[in-house]
Amino acid sequence: MTQPSPVRRRVDPRAERAARTILTGQRPRLLPQPVAVAVNGRRRDPRALRAAALVQIQPRPRYDWARDAASAGATAAVGIGVAATPAIPLQVIAEPAYLILAMLDRPGGEVSEHDRQVIAAARLLADAGGGAVVTVSTGSGDALAEAGSDRHVALPDGWADDYVPERRAAAASALMAALSPRHILFPDSPDGGDVARRVAAAAGERLFAGVQSLGPDRATRQSAGGSLEAGHRPTRLMTVAVDAFPPLDGVRHEARPLDLAAPVMAGEELPPRLGGARRLAVDPDALSLSETDFILSAGNGVTDWQSFAELGEALGATRAGSRVVCDAGHLPRERQVGASGMVVSARCYLAFGIAGAPQHLQGITGVRHVIAVNTDLHAEMIKRADLSIVADAQAVMPALIRLIRERRHA
């Protein structure tokens, strides 16, 4: 004889979902657990469940763009918002167990992305066992503290102007003798690679060039056109491939100056052997987007192309754009940034009137600083940006040109 089946309640998924919904400002949120509401024994009343679950709290926090606009003086119509950054604790390595030297290029006195990547690679070795990173370059170490430098050896500023790799090689050799570092890393760049090979030849040591992954026990690089990976125990001298290590963010080290004048200056006596070597002024628009450090980019929100060109010239930035503007013929196709255009890794990307479609953002994942100018506060490009100007691009461009000219004149 079959037993009568127990009465099963009907499940109403919509009511259950509604019961778990909380309104925070304008965006509904789900509670982790269903809200227990007894509704006259059997049937669920979705409206009653929703009303019981409705929690009215303050709207989500938002930046006060208006306040920044008020303090922006001449460009008061332009609201500029900067997110407050919390203080980053200072990392002090008082008694390092060993030293890792990072010989930086610092082209034109600026810390390049590749320089930051070399410091990040050096940190991997230093942090594995209580070591410290010693950066070596022209200029002070202030700009290197947030890249991860514990100590800094400043080479004479004049060395930045002349192409005398012998001097840097002599300085590196002198530092090797004076500090006995466990490893010395160089950028695998034309200048850094040149110095590294000179140091290796002088020391009679092997150089492991083009490192792409690094740990205290193993370094690897690609070979055979990228089809093979060669691994090795980290040698003392290594060059670091470009874009192999992400630069550090959110760290603050000491970059304490190391006074080692005597051994480092040993190279000063060496005269330049290439009499005609000098830095050439380049037209930023002649540079490939993959090589330039500063990109001024336009989207569909730009209509004043004269000001866009003038601003590019005033800033010394390479011009680029979204697919829409390249399709419209405002810029040549090779200037298109994005998934089906160029993937760029500039230090600064200044975007005017670009929405920030996923295909466009894919092209700027490696960019360090993004500045967005857009009339729409909720544009994806504004979310990606470190600094945003919520205003009409046609108003901001001439204002910036004026400001640059005034500063130059002053």
Ligand X SMILES: Cc1cc2nc3c(=O)[nH]c(=O)nc-3n(C[C@H](O)[C@H](O)[C@H](O)COP(=O)(O)OP(=O)(O)OC[C@H]3O[C@@H](n4cnc5c(N)ncnc54)[C@H](O)[C@@H]3O)c2cc1C
Residues forming contacts to ligand X in the complex (CB under 6 A) are: 299-301, 322-324, 336-341, 353-355, 357, 359-360, 363, 373-376, 379, 392-394
Q: How far is the CB of 330 from ligand X (least distance, A)?
A: 10
The DSSP output letter for 356 is -
Q: How far is the CB of 386 from ligand X (least distance, A)?
A: 18
Residue 292 or 374 having the CB closest to ligand X? 374
Q: How far is the CB of 117 from ligand X (least distance, A)?
A: 25
Residue 24 or 340 having the CB closest to ligand X? 340
Q: How far is the CB of 378 from ligand X (least distance, A)?
A: 9
Residue 229 or 334 having the CB closest to ligand X? 334
Q: How far is the CB of 180 from ligand X (least distance, A)?
A: 50
Q: Among all chains, which residue has been given the structure tokens 């965006």?
A: 27
CA-based nearest residue to 374, from 72, 76, 69, 78:
78
CA-based nearest residue to 120, from 140, 97, 95, 149:
149
Three-state DSSP state, 198: helix
Q: How far is the CB of 357 from ligand X (least distance, A)?
A: 4
Single-letter amino acid code for the residue at 333:
R
Tally Cβ neighbours within 10 Å of residue 275. 7
Residue 169 or 320 having the CB closest to ligand X? 320
Residue 189 or 307 having the CB closest to ligand X? 307
DSSP calls for 110-138: ---HHHHHHHHHHHHHHHTTT-EEEEEEE
Three-state DSSP state, 315: helix
Q: How far is the CB of 375 from ligand X (least distance, A)?
A: 4
Three-state DSSP state, 187: strand
Residue 168 or 360 having the CB closest to ligand X? 360
CA distance 192 to 169: 10
Residue 75 or 300 having the CB closest to ligand X? 300
307 with 401: CB under 8 angstroms? yes
Question: Which residues are CB-neighbours of 172 under 8 A, at least 6 positions away?
Answer: 101, 103, 136, 184, 195, 199
Write the Ramachandran bin of 356: left for phi over 0, alpha for psi from -120 to 50, otherwise beta. Answer: left
